Each structure stands twice: as C-alpha cells, then as structure tokens.
C-alpha cells in the first residue's frame, strides 16, 4: 500500500510500520540496556532528492496514526515556546493566574519535519537550540536527559517528550559536517537513498499509467492495520498490568505519567526474555559492522564508528518490534520472547541502512578530500610563481614569469615530482594563470583576482 503511494520507497514503507508501532507501545515498553534502558520509538531521518515521494509518504503514515488515535503535528519553524511550551498569564478578580501551554515536543505524538534541511542552518542561533531540543527529546523516555527545561520569568517549564520524529530533506551541501558534529544525527535512523534519472523516469511512467484507473484492491485495509496496532498496544498494557500482580486496568488509568513510568521501568526486566541464540547473533551482527570499518582508512573509520552504537541500539529495538509482530501472526498473546530470528530480521534492515550510510559518507569524504587537494595545489602553484624571476613581456602589461622556470620550481618545492606530474598538476591549476607565447618561449601571469 505504501509503495502505491510513494513509489519505489519500500524501505521507508517498512520503517513507517515500526515507526507507528513504536508510538503505539511507547507508554508500556522499556528495553533494558547497559544498566539503563532505551524505548521503542523510531526516529527516522530520510535524506533523498526532491520530488521523490517523501512528502506524500507521510500522508499514508499519518492516516494509520489517526486511525489509532495518535496525535500528529507538523514543524517547519518556530520559537522555543512553540517547542517547549509557554505560560499563559491573565488576571481575574484581582488574582494572577498561570496556565501552561504545551509545546510541540511535549507528550506523546508523531512529529513531521517535512523540511529537515532547516536543521543544517547551523549559523542561526535559534536553530542550534532547536537541534539541542530535538536531541534531548530523542533520549530514552524516563531519563533526566529526556526532560526539556526552559527557565522563564513566570516560572520554569519542564517537558517530558514521548515524540517520535519523522524528518525528511533533500541532500543539502555541507550535510556531512553537520551530520558529524550534531549529536541528533547519531540518534536517528538515517535512511539515505540516491534517486537517479532512470528511477525518476520509471516512477513517472508508473504514475502516468494510473490516470483514469481505479486504485488496486488489497487484502488488508487501513482499518486492519489500525486494529493490529491497537491490539499490540492493548496486549502490551495487559501484560504490564498483570506483571505488577495487584494493579487493575482501572487503577492504571488513574495513575499520573510519573507513576506509570516508574511501574514500566520496574517491570522492564520481566516484560521480555531472550533465547540462547539472541546474544550470539546480536554480537555476530556487531562483528559484521566492525569488519566493514576495519577495511576503511582511519579517518573514515572514526567517522563511521560514531554511528555504530546507535545502529546497534536500533537493532535491539527492531528485534523487539519483530517479536510483537511474530507473536501476533502466530495468534498468541504477547509473551515477550525476543529470539535470534528477530535479531536476524532486524539486522538485515539495519545493515542495509548502514551500507548506504557508509557509501554516502565515503563519497562525501572523497569529494571533500579532492577539493582540499585541489586547493592545496593551487596554493603550491602560487608559491612557486612568487619564487620565480619576474620578467617583462613585449606588448603585455604586468609582471610575468617563464612557464618552464615555474614548473621546475614547483617540482623542487613539492618533493621533486616528475615532469609528467608537473604538467598534470599544472592542467588543474591552469585557470588561475594567463599564459602567452613569444616565439618558442611561454610565459605565465597570475590572474589579479587570485
């Protein structure tokens, strides 16, 4: 169904399923990890060229979210108050009253950043703060790091965020530097997809073939998906309440958010168990990821390693989601058994994203390295030019140097490179020089704008 709305974006469609499931389970599931925990939310950052189906994909995802009663909102830009919240102040019968107006990052909802490129505008102070708030909101629910705090003249606002982020953007220039320096990008699932002309043409043909034709019929409907997510949510809540031993659904509904969170965390070690294959296969997945890193140069390896802890966390999260799906399809109650098969299925998704991420980062590094090398060579040619004897050229204004002398000087100054290398490097730098011939002799002049 997703692919008939957003053509050839199957991976985004798959992740949208678990994105919805993460929001459905967010109030009942904490996954123990490293003496703390992570939560079941999926935060997706989808980087793909414009007009390739990203925006319309949210329409389909949002339709299912609406059916199961999960709030959704859109963020384009806004103030701190819009994100964190603000105080509404008024006076009545001589008394001052304060009312808290919740911000976009407050509570439980699906939040769509349709133009995630604004996060790359790092020179704007306001947007730097937005990135910081997003980073905090993605931290595990129930931890202090997840609480967003804003001190205002009318009082402090503290906001716990249970928001799941769906961020999309085209690949902007300079994206790599932001991805590496902003922690928010190590907290999301990065879905990076090229969109070549051949695919655009194919999509255009498929779209045009739908003109005046009825849409296909499916074995399942949006209502069926909504029933599935609702059942999974209710089953998880029922299991949590049963594990407490003395709590009823009615009593649970009367508790405040903080008390519910304490119960969820106290029960998280009992909510799930693993079979004997879980940890060996999870570590095999880890080994596979680091094997790819060991083939890289140290600089690139260091860049990629910054993403691996988060990708491993998402492997565990997706394996947990797979266990719910598996138990549903086998017509059983939610038993909380996460096994090696679930790890394998999760790892297949994660490794696909990982390989695309590595390919993208490598291409960015290569482009950046080529640009740096070209800039360094231009600087070397200018040094060589300035070290040569200045001469005059008949009927030409300004100072000139003999080309042969400059090539020789460049070679000496750069480790004694060969004549062929000198000529090759000169071709790359030729645009910054004006060259003239007088008889058999050639002279060059550095262009004034250089």
SS (H, E, C) 69-105: CCCEEECCCCCHHHHHEEEEEEEECCEEEEEEEECCC
What pLDDT, on a 0 to 100 scale, did the predictor assign at position 126?
64
What pLDDT, on a 0 to 100 scale, did the predictor assign at position 295?
83
What pLDDT, on a 0 to 100 scale, did the predictor assign at position 100?
85
Q: Could you say which DSSP state residue 36 is in? A: E
* Residues ≥6 apart with Cβ < 8 Å to 199: 8
By DSSP bridging, strand 107-113 and strand 72-74 are parallel
What pLDDT, on a 0 to 100 scale, did the predictor assign at position 121?
64
What pLDDT, on a 0 to 100 scale, did the predictor assign at position 289?
92
What pLDDT, on a 0 to 100 scale, did the predictor assign at position 396?
87
What pLDDT, on a 0 to 100 scale, did the predictor assign at position 397?
86
Residues of the chain whose pLDDT is less than 50?
A: none
Give the global pTM: 0.80
What pLDDT, on a 0 to 100 scale, did the predictor assign at position 384?
93
Structure-block tokens of residue 160: 């716990």
**Distances from the Cα of 98 to the Cα of 81, 101, 156, 364, 379, angstroms:** 15, 10, 12, 50, 62
Sign of the CA dihedral with 146 first, then 44, 303, and 351 last:
positive
């Amino acid at each position: 169904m997703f692919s008939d709305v957003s053509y050839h974006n199957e991976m985004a469609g798959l992740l949208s399923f678990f994105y919805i499931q993460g929001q459905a389970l967010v109030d009942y599931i904490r996954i123990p990890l490293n003496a703390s925990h992570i939560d079941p939310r999926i935060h997706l950052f989808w980087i793909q060229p414009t007009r390739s189906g990203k925006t319309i994909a949210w329409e389909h995802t949002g339709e299912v979210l609406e059916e199961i009663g999960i709030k959704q909102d859109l963020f384009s830009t806004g103030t701190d108050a819009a994100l964190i919240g603000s105080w509404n102040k008024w006076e009545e019968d001589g008394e001052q009253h304060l009312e808290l107006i919740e911000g976009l990052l407050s509570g439980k909802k699906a939040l769509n950043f349709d133009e995630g490129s604004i996060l790359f505008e790092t020179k704007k102070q306001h947007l730097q703060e937005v990135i910081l708030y997003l980073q905090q909101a993605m931290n595990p629910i129930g931890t202090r790091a997840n609480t967003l705090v804003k001190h205002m003249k009318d009082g402090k606002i503290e906001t716990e965020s249970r928001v799941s982020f769906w961020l999309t953007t085209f690949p902007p220039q300079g994206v790599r530097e932001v991805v590496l320096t902003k922690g928010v990008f190590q907290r999301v699932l990065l879905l990076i997809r090229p969109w070549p002309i051949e695919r655009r043409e194919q999509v255009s043909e498929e779209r045009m073939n739908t003109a005046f034709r009825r849409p296909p019929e499916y074995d399942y409907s949006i209502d069926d998906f909504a029933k599935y997510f609702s059942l999974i949510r209710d089953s998880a809540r029922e299991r949590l309440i049963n594990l407490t031993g003395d709590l009823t659904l009615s009593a649970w509904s009367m508790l405040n958010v903080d008390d519910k969170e304490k119960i969820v965390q106290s029960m998280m070690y009992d909510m799930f168990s693993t079979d004997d294959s879980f940890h060996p296969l999870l570590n095999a997945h880890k080994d596979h990821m680091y094997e790819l890193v060991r083939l890289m140069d140290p600089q690139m390896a260091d860049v990629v390693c910054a993403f691996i802890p988060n990708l491993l966390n998402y492997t565990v999260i997706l394996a947990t989601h797979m266990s719910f799906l598996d138990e549903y399809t086998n017509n059983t109650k939610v038993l909380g058994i996460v096994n090696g098969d679930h790890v394998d299925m999760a790892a297949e998704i994660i490794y696909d994203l990982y390989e695309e991420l590595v390919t993208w980062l490598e291409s960015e590094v290569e482009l950046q390295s080529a640009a740096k090398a070209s800039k360094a060579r231009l600087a070397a040619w200018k040094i060589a030019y300035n070290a040569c004897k200045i001469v005059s050229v008949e009927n030409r204004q300004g100072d000139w140097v003999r080309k042969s002398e400059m090539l020789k000087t460049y070679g000496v100054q750069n480790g004694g490179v060969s004549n062929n290398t000198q000529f090759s490097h000169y071709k790359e730098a030729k645009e910054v020089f004006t060259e003239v011939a007088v008889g058999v002799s050639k002279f060059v002049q550095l262009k004034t704008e250089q």
